[in-house]
């Protein structure tokens, strides 16, 4: 806990089980909330970074969390593997212990876990995320940012499953023109061997009949559902 003075109090989902979605600011558990406006501006992305984002649709390898913060968040992962029971699982918008249905290709997938633990709650409030996000929604203009939802994909070692090729925009077409973005936070090292994410530069501009690419598999299983021809 980084903040000592009156941390915000969540409402309870069940007696003794906090619902962190009722707290509209960082709890202070993951990082010390910024109080000085100048500290926000220090986190602004450079012109080079923002224009790379507009061109390629992605900017990678941005350090976000310290080793210590990362380890603390990963400690909460035990609730989503089922290793430790959490009494607030019904708060989640979606929970799949294995979305592939195949025990040899396990894909844990959930949405809404930010409601369950103060550390996952604080992640979308991380200034290193929200400041660049405020620059990236509209070119050359800083805008307010609203958190839409969190999502966790986990691929257990040795028998982890796949997340098939997709465009995130295909799933979330609620803003037109597009006014939302994905922030993918790796809580583990990602490599070719352990199922790291792949991104095709400029694929954010790909369309079919003027629309984003279609969603062909809501369980992400079919690696062949989208092909480059
Ligand atoms: O981790 C993956 O394989 C996919 C992650 C993803 O699709 C995303 O972050 O939007
Ligand atoms: Fe995605």
Calculate mean pLDDT across residues 204-219. Answer: 86
Cβ–ligand 1 contact at 186 (below 6 Å) = no
Closest Cα to atom 1, ligand 1: which residue? 197
Is 114's pLDDT higher than 90?
yes
Calculate mean pLDDT across residues 200-225. Answer: 86
End-to-end CA distance of the chain: 51
Cβ–ligand 1 contact at 197 (below 6 Å) = yes
Calculate mean pLDDT across residues 103-109. Answer: 95
85 conformational bin, left if phi > 0, alpha if psi -120 to 50, beta if neither: beta
Is 218's pLDDT higher than 80?
no
Mutual orientation of helices 127-136 and 47-56 as an angle, nearest 10°?
60
Confidence of residue 171 (pLDDT cuts 50, 70, 90): confident
Distance (angstroms) between ligand 1 centre and the Cα of 14 equals 31
Cβ–ligand 1 contact at 223 (below 6 Å) = no
Distance CA 70, CA 187 (A): 6
Mutational test site, ligand 1, from 110, 149, 164, 184, max ligand atoms within 8 Å of CB: 184
Mutational test site, ligand 1, from 106, 197, 198, 226, max ligand atoms within 8 Å of CB: 197
- The residues near 6 (Cβ < 8 Å, ≥ 6 apart) are none
Distance (angstroms) between ligand 2 centre and the Cα of 220 equals 10
**What is the chain's mean pLDDT, rounded?**
92
Let me know if 86 is exposed, middle or buried by CB neighbors in 10 A (0-12, 13-18, 19+).
Answer: middle
Calculate mean pLDDT across residues 101-119. Answer: 96
How distant, in Å, are the alpha carbons of 59, 136, 192, 213 from that of 200?
Answer: 11, 19, 15, 14
Q: What residues are neighbours of ligand 2 (ion), with CB under 5 Å? A: 168
Distance (angstroms) between ligand 2 centre and the Cα of 219 equals 12
Encoded tokens for 229 = 């021809």
Could you give the maximum distance between any two Cα atoms of the chain, in Å?
58
Cβ–ligand 1 contact at 184 (below 6 Å) = yes
Cβ–ligand 1 contact at 60 (below 6 Å) = no
pLDDT > 70: percent of the chain: 97
Calculate mean pLDDT across residues 160-177. Answer: 88
């Amino acid at each position: 806990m980084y903040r000592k003075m009156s941390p915000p109090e969540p409402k309870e989902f069940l007696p003794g089980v906090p619902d962190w979605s009722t707290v509209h600011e960082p709890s202070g558990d993951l990082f010390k909330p910024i109080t000085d406006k100048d500290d926000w501006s220090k986190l602004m992305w450079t012109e080079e970074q923002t224009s790379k984002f507009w061109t390629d649709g992605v900017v990678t390898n941005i350090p976000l969390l310290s080793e210590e913060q990362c380890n603390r968040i990963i400690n909460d992962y035990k609730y989503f593997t089922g290793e430790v029971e959490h009494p607030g699982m019904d708060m989640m918008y979606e929970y799949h212990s294995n979305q592939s249905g195949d025990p040899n290709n396990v894909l844990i997938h959930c949405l809404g876990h930010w409601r369950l633990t103060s550390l996952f709650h604080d992640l979308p409030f991380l200034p290193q995320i929200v400041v660049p996000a405020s620059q990236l929604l509209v070119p050359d203009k800083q805008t307010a940012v609203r958190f839409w939802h969190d999502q966790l994909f986990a691929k257990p070692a040795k028998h982890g499953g796949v997340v098939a090729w997709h465009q995130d925009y295909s799933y979330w077409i609620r803003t037109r023109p597009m006014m939302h973005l994905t922030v993918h936070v790796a809580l583990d090292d990602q490599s070719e061997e352990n199922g790291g994410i792949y991104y095709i530069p400029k694929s954010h501009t790909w369309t079919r009949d003027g629309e984003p690419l279609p969603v062909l598999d809501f369980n992400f299983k079919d690696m062949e559902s989208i092909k480059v021809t």
